[in-house]
């Protein structure tokens, strides 16, 4: 039976690199896969999933109002899919997560989602909340805080180099905008000891 998977972490844990490696493994064995990325994530080239370590692969861009199930079924009709991969899954809508679950349940195509669990304020993203509720399999991808402890939180860094505590939930940025911290240092707003 195919499953809906959610692989989550704080920022900079290597989620995109792991996704790209898994997709490569499928392709190396002659299997067709589909890579998706929400348009909310506008870092890097449009139409690609890229990792910090330089890996990249073409991906279909998915806006928030797109019916993901219909898109996947259209691709599946053209060339049967062995697996669907979704990067930056925190930016999916709840409805899109339900559609991905239907792909796994009805079409028996595994769907592997990768994303951040919580935002800079410690709140769940809508896509992450839906995936945590619905996914058949949850896997934490670990990264570390500056102190060496497991990082479970993501802090947003302001222009002044300090941790920001207010603002819009979605502000797309990379290493210059976010840092992964353990809960203790996130709560105490400590970037370094």
Q: How far is CA 172 from CA 45, 88, 175, in A?
A: 14, 11, 11
Q: Where are the beta strands (DSSP E) in 53-188?
A: 56-58, 60-62, 83-86, 111-116, 137-140, 143-144, 150-151, 153-157, 163-164, 178-181
Our measurement of the distance from residue 7's CA atom to the centroid of its chain's CA atoms, rounded to an integer in Å, reads: 7
- Catalytic residue list contains 88: yes
Average of per-residue pLDDT values in the chain:
90
Q: Is 72's pLDDT higher than 60? A: yes
pLDDT value of residue 174? 55
49 beta partners: 57
Spot the catalytic one: 28, 88, 140, 166. Answer: 88
Averaged pLDDT for residues 162-191: 78
CA distance 33 to 115: 19
pTM: 0.90
């Amino acid at each position: 039976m195919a499953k809906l998977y959610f692989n989550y972490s704080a920022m900079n844990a290597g989620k995109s690199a792991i996704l790209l490696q898994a997709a490569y493994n499928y392709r190396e064995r002659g299997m067709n896969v589909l890579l998706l990325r929400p348009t909310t994530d506008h870092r890097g080239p449009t139409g690609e999933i890229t990792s910090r370590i330089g890996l990249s692969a073409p991906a279909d861009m998915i806006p928030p109002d797109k019916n993901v199930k219909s898109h996947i079924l259209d691709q599946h009709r053209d060339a049967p899919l062995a697996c669907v991969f979704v990067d930056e899954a925190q930016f999916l809508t709840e409805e899109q997560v339900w559609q991905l679950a239907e792909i796994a349940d009805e079409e028996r195509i595994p769907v592997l989602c990768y994303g951040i669990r919580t935002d800079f304020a410690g709140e769940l993203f809508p896509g992450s909340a839906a995936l945590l509720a619905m996914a058949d399999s949850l896997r934490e991808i670990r990264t570390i805080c500056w102190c060496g402890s497991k990082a479970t939180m993501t802090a947003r860094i302001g222009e002044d180099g300090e941790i920001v505590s207010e603002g819009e939930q979605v502000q797309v940025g990379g290493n210059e905008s976010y840092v992964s911290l353990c809960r203790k240092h996130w709560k105490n707003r400590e970037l370094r000891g």
